[in-house]
Amino acid sequence: MSELTRQAITVAHRVWRHRWVGVAVAWAVGIAGVGASVMMQERYEARARIYVDTQTVLKPLMQGLTVQPDIDQQVRMLGRNLVSRPNVEKLVAMPELGLTQGPGGPPEARVDSLLRSIKVEQTGGNNLYAISYRDTDPERARKLVSALVSLFMNSGVDSKRRDSQDASRFIDEQISLYEAKLVEAEGRVKDFKLRNIGVASPSSNQDFFARMAAISDEVNRIRIQLSAAEQSRDALRRELGSEDPQLPENAASAVSATPELDSRIDAQRRQLDDLIRRYTDEHPDVIAARRTIEQLEAQRRRELDERARSGRGRGGSAATNPVYQKLRVSQAEAEADVAALRAQLGVQQGRLAEIRSQAGQVPQAEADLAQLTRDYEVIRKNYEELVTRRESAALGVKIDQTGSMADFRVIEPPRVLPWAVFPSRKQLALVTLAAALFAGLLASYAMTFLHPTFGSERELRDFIKRPVLGSVALVADPRSVEQVRRDRLQLLGAMGLFVLIYGIWLVWIFLRPSALA
């Protein structure tokens, strides 16, 4: 026989000597477990799962048109803040949940208990949330989880809408403020311009020295043009003085004084020749053509007479040299150009003298105007940017009213698990049975240390470290044998009764109707 087997047999003999202590302890533990399972209330878990889809169609379409917050971060914050004291207080105040009735202490204690019992966890992804709650009333647990789901979905919509409205209200206030600043800045610029008319030059982008340099350059340019125009005029005068205004007699007679009338008369004569070849002299067209020729010739004679009389009235004849006439026209144009350039030069010299006379006050006025204009431009830029932001915010509010940038989907509706959570009555009964049997064995084994005995000579010799001279055997008589038999029957009856009663208890627990039925 091995040493391990021998020790096991020895321990079994020791435990058997204290068997009634183990039976008593097993009965005590079993009775305590039955009482605990009768007194306890089973808890049921209700759960739901929600998926928040932040990749909607509106998100890429609204890119650049409106302000887009970090929806994923907002959803994560909603998940963390769902189980907060204000939200739980709302749940406690709901009469349909029945959280204000029954035991549970004052409202603050109920709120603290719910804060510890409600669980919101991210499962299976960043935007997948699981909501669970355990309660002794399964229907109340389901209603509370359903209320949490509604609160979670509505809080997302309400928070975004509230943020958009707050942003619009803030932007409107800032626009009103900047509008008043803009009107004030415009008034300051207007008053400054009225006080400094003719000193500052708001219509020009150049400063005082740049304008003075530009006008000086313009004066020099006009002087150069005037000098060129005067030289051209003098050259025309010299050419005109050397040119004879009258052509020679033979050349003058070859030149017609009325070229236009002569050409018309020639045309009418050609037309008359053509009509005579086709018609008689009495034809109306022939008569009309001859009458027209006579009228044109009479007009030509009148013009010649008028020119002759006008030439005698002026004391001389008109110039007949065409070159002379052209030179006279060019000279007149040159005189006009010189007069115009002299007028421009006078105006620009006057402006230059005026600017030079303002050299002491114009730079300071321009610096002050630049400062006022810079302040005005900054305010105007901020004002226009705020107006643009208001349009974006208004578009965001409309988006929140017509749609949602995040879609809340209930993946698993609120439901109660079909079994009670640990520890349930069934689980507690089985655990109590195992604990009673183990406690009985452990108590019997513990008694061997309180009342130690030696089961063999070897144990005694190992303990006292002395040789054992001998041992006395026990001879059982019929009376002691009968007593042992009755003791074993009593032990069997006690354990059988324990198993029978506990078995009936287990059958009743497993067959009784559940609270979900």
In this prediction, residue 70 carries a pLDDT of 60
Q: 122-126, 308-312, 384-388: which has the highest mean pLDDT? A: 384-388
pTM of the predicted model as reported, rounded to 2 decimal places: 0.49
Same domain? For 163 and 47 the reply is yes
What digits encode the pLDDT tens for the residues 420-430? 887 788 888 88
Residue 106 predicted with pLDDT over 80: no
Same domain? For 389 and 404 the reply is yes
Q: Which residue has the higher pLDDT, 327 or 506?
A: 506
Same domain? For 136 and 195 the reply is yes
Same domain? For 242 and 225 the reply is yes
Domain boundary among 334, 359, 384: 359
**Which residues lie below 8 Å from residue 303, measured CB to CB, with a gap of 6+?**
257, 258, 261
The rounded percent of the chain whose pLDDT value lies above 90 is 9
Tell me if residue 133 falls in helix, strand or coil. strand
Q: Is residue 104 part of a domain?
A: no
Instruction: Enumerate helices (H) and strands (E) in the chain, giving the number of each.
Output: 16, 4
Same domain? For 138 and 256 the reply is no
Question: What count of other Cβ atoms lies within 10 Å of the Cβ of residue 31?
Answer: 15
Same domain? For 37 and 49 the reply is no
Burial class (CB in 10 A: 0-12, 13-18, 19+), 46: buried
Same domain? For 390 and 408 the reply is yes
- Residue with tokens 């150049």, as numbered in its chain: 206
Q: Is residue 383 part of a domain?
A: yes
Q: Is residue 97 part of a domain?
A: no
Same domain? For 479 and 367 the reply is no
Token pair of 63 as six digits:
């890119």
What string of DSSP letters covers 43-76?
-EEEEEEEEEE---SHHHHTTTTS----HHHHHH
Q: How far is 178 from 379, CA to CA, in rounded Å?
A: 7
What digits encode the pLDDT tens for the residues 115-154? 888 998 888 667 888 999 988 888 888 999 999 988 888 7
Same domain? For 54 and 182 the reply is yes
Q: Is residue 113 part of a domain?
A: no
Q: Is residue 134 part of a domain?
A: yes
Please, are residues 99 and 115 in contact by the beta-carbon 8 Å criterion? no
Domain boundary among 328, 359, 390: 359
Same domain? For 261 and 409 the reply is no
What digits encode the pLDDT tens for the residues 208-222? 667 778 888 998 999
Q: Is residue 71 part of a domain?
A: yes
* Number of domains the chain contains: 3
What is the extent of the structural domain holding 451? 3-41+428-511
Q: Is residue 352 part of a domain?
A: yes
Same domain? For 274 and 295 the reply is yes
Same domain? For 320 and 239 the reply is yes
Q: Is residue 436 part of a domain?
A: yes
